[in-house]
A = this chain, B = another copy of it.
Amino acid sequence: MKVNGVSYRTIWRSEADPNQIQIIDQRALPWQWEILTLTTWEAARDAIRDMAVRGAGLIGATAGYGMSLAANAAPVSSMEAWDHWMSAAAQGLKEARPTAVNLAWAVDRQMSLLRTEHELNSRASLAAKEADQIADDDAACCQQLGQHGLELIRSLAEKKTDGEPVRILTHCNAGWLAFVDFGSATAPIYAAHDAGIPVEVWIEETRPRNQGAALTAWELGKHGVPHQIIVDNAGGHVMQHGWVDLVITGTDRVTRTGDVANKIGTYKTALAARDNQVPFYVALPSSTFDWDLVDGVREIPIEERDESEVSMIQGWDSIHQTPGQLRVAPEGSRCRNFGFDVTPARLVDGLITERGICEASESGIASLFSENFENKEN
């Protein structure tokens, strides 16, 4: 998407040197704009581990490029030497964020492909092409789901008069910053905006890490999409007063029955949407489905994170012109920090995927992804 009028992805091959990979350092956003250049697989690992890149799609793409950087430097003297080097890189990359499913997936995809090429000297160029392909696939998938979501927004726009905007509420950052481009929850919004449909976005700030206020507001602002930030507490109020036409969020994991795990607070927002008859949609590339799970609330483990994310807050210190942090809870009071919650399928009006929009139910999901249900019936 655009940043100050220039189109960017979150990860790309350097124009100056195609053996170098560049990323936006997301730790510095929204306060500072910094491009990092990765020249080794270790640098790619560090970028993932230290969260310069984050989000399922982007982590996968960075891992793909990490394997390509490893292949550039791998010894081609013998198959054994190559394998030893590349296995160490694969292992190192996977350990950068062990719970990120896309990370292991991208590493394994590269490794098994490269082993099919018997000419060792050709493997580096093959890895480079494959890394580009992984990134392109991620962007294409998001773009496609954006086109399906666009139709949903278009149908709401048709009910508006006098160019009144379609008002969409979102939670957290399921934006292009979390993928290679377009994003999941934001893809329909960007598609509508770029198609000339007036949209206006309510962004819940998304405590404790404030990815809504910090990242979603930044990226919508840079692309020129009108938006307003509210505290998470205000999401119910704006819906109650009829100021929201549609809610779209992303997700970290969806069960085969349509239960949605997403950033903490999504469940409360979904309850407010249902209470006010505001349609609540979840946008996801189908790689986010967990085909094994049937009961999200019971089966999806919820990460409890460090309490300092609740007791301390990060932001921009305007006086010292530097990122800073403040304590917001008294010393001696314990804080609890649940990272995600589960929104039961009954509160979800639909899932927006790269194959189309479906009901958040086993039969709805099977209507688009039947192959995953046939397997399960074995």
* A-to-B contact residues, CB < 8 Å: 30-31, 203, 205-208, 210, 213-214, 217-218, 221, 227-238, 240-241, 263-265, 267-269, 271-272, 275, 297, 302, 310-318, 324-330, 332-338, 341-342
A336 CA / B244 CA spacing, docked (Å): 14
Kindly list chain B residues whose C-beta atoms are within 8 Å of the C-beta of A238.
Answer: 336, 338
Kindly list chain B residues whose C-beta atoms are within 8 Å of the C-beta of A236.
Answer: 265, 267-268, 271, 341
Do B338 and A240 have beta carbons less than 8 Å apart?
no
Known pairs A237-B267, A271-B271 / 10 extra A-B pairs, C-beta < 8 Å: A203-B333, A208-B233, A213-B329, A217-B330, A231-B265, A232-B268, A237-B341, A268-B268, A268-B272, A313-B315
Do B217 and A329 have beta carbons less than 8 Å apart?
yes
Do B310 and A230 have beta carbons less than 8 Å apart?
yes
Shortest C-beta distance, A343 to chain B (Å), equals 9
A302 CA / B271 CA spacing, docked (Å): 21
A333's contact among B229, B241, B342, by CB below 8 Å, is which? B229
Do B314 and A326 have beta carbons less than 8 Å apart?
yes
Kindly list chain B residues whose C-beta atoms are within 8 Å of the C-beta of A227.
Answer: 333-334
Known: A315-B326, A324-B324. A332 touches B267 (CB 8 A): no
Shortest C-beta distance, A192 to chain B (Å), equals 19
Kindly list chain B residues whose C-beta atoms are within 8 Å of the C-beta of A31.
Answer: 330
Kindly list chain B residues whose C-beta atoms are within 8 Å of the C-beta of A269.
Answer: 268
25 contacts between A and B (CB under 8 A): A205-B310, A207-B207, A210-B328, A213-B328, A213-B329, A213-B333, A214-B328, A214-B329, A218-B333, A221-B332, A221-B333, A228-B333, A229-B335, A232-B233, A233-B264, A233-B265, A236-B265, A237-B341, A238-B336, A240-B267, A241-B297, A268-B272, A313-B315, A315-B327, A325-B326
A328 CA / B230 CA spacing, docked (Å): 12
Nearest residue (CB) in B for A171 is B233
Do A231 and B310 have beta carbons less than 8 Å apart?
yes
A240's contact among B263, B325, B342, by CB below 8 Å, is which? B342
Nearest residue (CB) in B for A330 is B30
Known: A267-B236, A302-B237, A313-B313. A229 touches B334 (CB 8 A): yes
Nearest residue (CB) in B for A334 is B228
Nearest residue (CB) in B for A213 is B329
Nearest residue (CB) in B for A217 is B333
Kindly list chain B residues whose C-beta atoms are within 8 Å of the C-beta of A317.
Answer: 324, 326-327
Kindly list chain B residues whose C-beta atoms are within 8 Å of the C-beta of A315.
Answer: 312-313, 326-328
Do A207 and B233 have beta carbons less than 8 Å apart?
yes
Nearest residue (CB) in B for A307 is B229
Kindly list chain B residues whose C-beta atoms are within 8 Å of the C-beta of A332.
Answer: 221
Do A237 and B264 have beta carbons less than 8 Å apart?
yes
Please indicate which of the listed interface residues A227, A330, A332, A335 has the most CB atoms of chain B within 10 Å of its own CB.
A330
A326's contact among B221, B229, B326, by CB below 8 Å, is which? B326
Kindly list chain B residues whose C-beta atoms are within 8 Å of the C-beta of A326.
Answer: 313-317, 324-326
